[in-house]
Amino acid sequence: MEVGAEIGSWIHSNRIDVNVLLKKLIEDAYLTAKLFSAGPKKAPTARESDGGHETT
């Protein structure tokens, strides 16, 4: 994988462990994907909110 010269220089000058950086990036991507894959919660319908009993 190729990174830009500025990013490579920043990683090197700050003595960042690339393996740790990659692990954190993957964890963040996984958690973000998991968060958004849950989808929005739907509001209960009138029938669901009263325990399934019809009110007529």
Q: What is the per-residue pLDDT across 10-25, written as a single tens digit (0 to 9) for each?
A: 888 988 888 999 999 9
Res 40 pLDDT > 70:
no
Confidence band, pLDDT 50/70/90 cuts, at residue 30: very high
Res 34 pLDDT > 60:
yes
pTM over 0.75: no
Number of domains into which the chain is organized: 1
Res 26 pLDDT > 90:
yes
Residue 42 lies in a domain: no
Residue 13 lies in a domain: yes
Torsion angle defined by CA atoms of residues 21, 22, 27 and 29, in that order, rounded to the nearest 10 degrees:
110
Instruction: Give the model's pLDDT for residue 53.
Output: 57
In which domain, by residue range, is 25 found? 5-34
Within 8 A by CB and 6+ apart from 46, the residues are 55
Residue 55 lies in a domain: no
